[in-house]
A = this chain, B = another copy of it.
Amino acid sequence: MATLTDIGVAAAINILSAFGFLLAFAILRLQPFNDRVYFPKWYLKGVRSSPLNSGTFIKKIVNLDFRSYLRFLDWMPAALKMPEPELIDHAGLDSAVYLRIYLLGLKVFLPITCLAFAVLVPVNWTNNTLELDASKSSKLVFSEIDKLSISNIPKGSNKFWTHLVMAYTFTFWTCYVLLREYKVIASMRLHFLASEKRRPDQFTVLVRNVPPDPDESMSELVEHFFLVNHPDNYLTHQVVYDANKLAKMVKKKKNMLNWLDFYQLKFERNSSTRPTCKIGFLGLFGKKVDAIEYYSTEIGKLSKEEVEERDRIQKDTKSIIPAAFVSFRTRWGTAVCAQTQQTRNPTIWLTEWSPEPRDVYWQNLAIPFVQQTVRRLIIAVAFFFLTFFFMIPIAFVQSLANLDGIEKAVPFLKHLIEKKFIKSFIQGFLPGIALKIFLIFLPSILMLMSKFEGSISLSSLERRAASKYYLFLLVNVFLGSIITGTAFQQLNTFIHQSVNQFPKTIGIAIPQKATFFITYVMVDGWAGVAGEILRLKPLIIYHIKNFFFVKTEKDREAAMDPGSIEFASSEPQIQLYFLLGLVYAVVTPFLLPYIIIFFGLAYLVFRHQIINVYNQEYESAASFWPNVHVRVITAMIIAQVLLLGLMSTKSAANSTPFLIALPVLTIWFHKFCKSRYESAFRKYPLQEAMMKDTLERAREPNLDLKGYLLNAYVNPVFKEVDDHDDVSAFDELEFEAVLVPTKRSSRKNTPVPSKYTSGSLSPLHDAAHEQQL
């Protein structure tokens, strides 16, 4: 067990490294050279223009204005300055509400910490159980931290009533904050939806599993069905094409365009020799050809093929999948259709609110109903095995990746490996690396699993992946650290243990693990968050791209990778801190300040990133909040059950009945919140719809809604092909000049993703992007 000094040293190291990251960021962000890495959001909004266009060459790259270095911590108050309504306007409701998760952490834990330090710490400190125990058996070592924890209270002491009262106080406070937060966010969401401008998804319903009809085409079938069943409301519809092949072609062409740019730039810089390349596997084998010529002709060919494929898809009835986007005259009619069942058979003609166009995950639209339930079963089983048995393949890889294994596999490296330095490096580093790689890829694996399940919007994909990741962290990080053993070993322990032993086993281990988790919070929380603001990976990639591929301002814009909040991986991590805080609030309050620092720092950093960097791919109007809420409730219940177990080992038996009431009340509180507020995130009330309709009719009596919705839900792949078609027709620069203004003002409320964004918003690009992670 670590002493206070150990913790102090660890804290100092981590504070220093976090401070180092922050300092590096403060300096790097001032260089005009990095401007697009640290302020891409403003470029995308069209507010900021490249500093490279003005001033001397040096000034373009390095900031020589020393006064600005003096104000290098300015970003902190700047990040806090923007008021919330402006933030919602600037970055969307999703981002603003995401920040409120950190605020929620502060709101929950600041008062709890004060109270715990005012009440629990003195109560714990004024005992000498540990000293007595230590004097009895010399083996027992304890630290000052343990003296501050519940371990220091003698068995059966009446002082446990303090902890009991505190457990109640903390629960009620957390519930109160959660309730208020749920209420605020529900009203923020409703306000956001109510004040939103006209958007195509307000009028559109996604209908899936349209049953085939031998006599009618898909389009006629859909039209007739809705004309009959929603005669007063139906307006128009759009069929969905299976464009997966075309999407592949578009991706290939994009790749080739990059290479063409690369070779052209190479040729421009050194015009003496025309660049060549090999056309075989990975450009390593095969015939040598003139690179520019080769790629130009290839791209030309591909463009033609793309157009042919697009025309084929649009003509061939077989490429129409049994799903359609159906639009209605009014929001009222849309709300009605989206929230009711259409036919007797609940597996066909499934209607639901259509996600906004950017949010659609096109690949999954065609999955039939039965297949979807089978897929869910498969993924549920697979996820169970992933969570509990992931160590098995990793252990296998680790067993291969030892010295002997490598020597056998690649004998010619034997000489090199035998050197002492490299040997110790491999021995110390290699076993861990397999696990590390797995953990890095885990969010992507979980996202792939969620995609396989068949969700039809990116936002729901992220939510499902987040739930899975949370469970994984809960089992493997939280329980795994406490019981120390693989998840499977834990499972085995649990199955062979009595029910009331579970909370006891964990309850006893919990105070002992406090120091470990303090270190965890510092390394993963503090330094991790500080690292986030530095954006090391995007910084390097941007400069590489900038050097090799960028010819025009447009290319530079494309090289920028603003990224977005990775909800699927970062929200579960926040939840882990909630869990730690709630579990240790009564047991070892000394952990709480570390959590508060994490929440404060993370709030600051992410607020800065959201204002200046991230560019959300979609807007779901905070539809993830119920998930956040329920996970905090889960953490509360876990904390209560573990406290119950701990108390029962402390012979404080008469407090047990009082503690049992806590989880019951918490579950009831959850049910109450669910029935009271969840509907704001899942349903769209008819009154709201009617109000917006009436307002709109009064304001724009002659609106051409049909024209407005005409191309709202077209697979972005088609637009890309069309755009490339256009590009070849127009002069590129002119095209840029024409399109840019439209694009920038368009990002927020027109349905047509602009040319730039269509790239980063297409699900294909998104998938590729995720696989890169």
Please report the C-alpha to C-alpha distance between residue A494 and residue B499 in the assembled complex, in whole angstroms.
7
Is there contact, CB below 8 Å, between B685 and A342? yes
Query: Is A686 in contact with chain B by the CB < 8 A criterion?
Result: yes
Residues of B within 8 A of A685 (CB): 340-344
Binds B, one of A102-110, A543-551, A566-574, A676-684: A676-684
Q: Is A500 on the interface with B (CB-CB < 8 A)?
A: yes
Query: Cα distance A254–B190 when bound, in Å?
Result: 53
Name the interface residues of A663-717: CB closer than 8 Å to any CB of B. 664, 668, 671-672, 675-677, 679-680, 683-688, 690
In the complex, whether A228 has a CB less than 8 A from a CB of chain B is yes
Q: Is the CB of B340 within 8 A of A680?
A: no
**Within residues 366 to 407 of chain A, which ones have a CB less than 8 A from any CB in chain B?**
369-370, 373, 376-377, 381
Is A497 an interface residue, CB under 8 A from the partner?
Answer: yes
Complex CA distance for A376 and B336, rounded to whole angstroms = 30
What total of chain A residues lie within 8 Å of the partner, measured CB to CB?
45
B495 touches A346 (CB 8 A): no
| Cβ 8 A contact of A499, one of B381, B499, B687 | B499
A508-538 interface with B by 8 A CB criterion: none
A308 interfacial by beta-carbon distance below 8 Å: no
Q: When each residue 585-600 of chain A gets 1 if its CB lies under 8 Å from chain B and 0 otherwise, what string results?
A: 0000000000000000
A339 an interface residue at 8 Å Cβ cutoff? Answer: yes
Q: How many copies does the complex hold?
A: 2
Asked if A742 CB lies within 8 Å of chain B CBs, one says no
Q: Give chain B residues whose Cβ lies under 8 Å from the Cβ of A686.
A: 229-230, 340-342
User: What are the residues of chain B within 8 A of A494 when measuring CB–CB?
Assistant: 499
* Interface membership of chain A positions 168-205, coded 1 if the CB is closer than 8 angstroms to chain B and 0 otherwise: 00000000000000000000001000000000000000
Cα–Cα, bound, A347→B643 (Å): 35
Contacts of A268 in B (CB 8 A): none
Q: Does A273 contact B (CB under 8 A)?
A: no
With a CB–CB cut-off of 8 A, which chain B residues contact A346? 675-677, 679-680, 683
* Contact for A335 among B340, B344, B672, B688, CB less than 8 A: B340
Complex: chain B residue closest to A378, CB-CB: B668
Interface string of A354-371 (1 = CB under 8 A from B): 000000000000000110
Report yes or no: A688 in contact with B344, Cβ–Cβ below 8 A. Answer: yes
Q: A271 interface residue, CB < 8 Å from B?
A: no
* Chain B residues whose C-beta falls within 8 Å of the C-beta of A668 in the assembled complex: 373, 377
- The residue in chain B whose Cβ has the minimal distance to the Cβ of A187 is B344
With both beta carbons as reference points, the residue of chain B lying nearest to A665 in the complex is identified as: B377
Name the B residues within 8 Å of A664 (CB-CB).
377, 381
A321–B664 Cα gap in the complex (Å)?
A: 32
Known: A498-B495, A498-B499. A683 touches B340 (CB 8 A): yes
Residues in chain B near residue A315, CB distance under 8 A? none
Q: Considering only CB atoms, which chain B residue lies closest to A377 in the complex?
A: B668
Q: How far is the CA of A128 from the CA of B497 in the complex (A)?
A: 35
A749 touches B (CB below 8 Å): no
Query: Considering the complex, which residues of chain A in the window 304-350 have a beta carbon less than 8 Å from any beta carbon of chain B?
Result: 335-336, 339-344, 346-347
In the bound complex, residues from chain B placing their C-beta under 8 Å from that of A381 are 664
Q: Is A690 in contact with B229, judged by CB distance below 8 angstroms? A: yes
Bound state CA distance, A679 and B351, in angstroms? 14
A304 to chain B, nearest CB (A): 46
State in angstroms the CA–CA spacing of A664 and B378 once bound together: 11
Among A229, A230, A501, chain B packs the most CB atoms within 10 A around the CB of A229
Give the docked Cα–Cα distance between A683 and B351 (Å).
Answer: 14
Contacts of A229 in B (CB 8 A): 686-687, 690
Contact partner of A672 among B373, B671, B675, B687, CB < 8 A? B373
Is the CB of A298 closer than 8 A to any CB of chain B? no
Would you mind naming 5 contact pairs between A and B with Cβ atoms under 8 Å apart? A339-B341, A341-B685, A344-B688, A346-B680, A497-B499
A344-B688, A496-B499 given. 15 additional CB < 8 A pairs?
A: A335-B340, A340-B685, A340-B686, A342-B686, A344-B687, A346-B675, A346-B683, A347-B676, A369-B675, A369-B676, A370-B672, A373-B672, A495-B498, A495-B499, A496-B500
The 5 closest A-B pairs by CB, nearest first: A346-B679, A341-B683, A498-B498, A341-B685, A377-B668
A residues near B (Cβ < 8 Å) are 190, 228-230, 232, 335-336, 339-344, 346-347, 369-370, 373, 376-377, 381, 494-501, 664, 668, 671-672, 675-677, 679-680, 683-688, 690
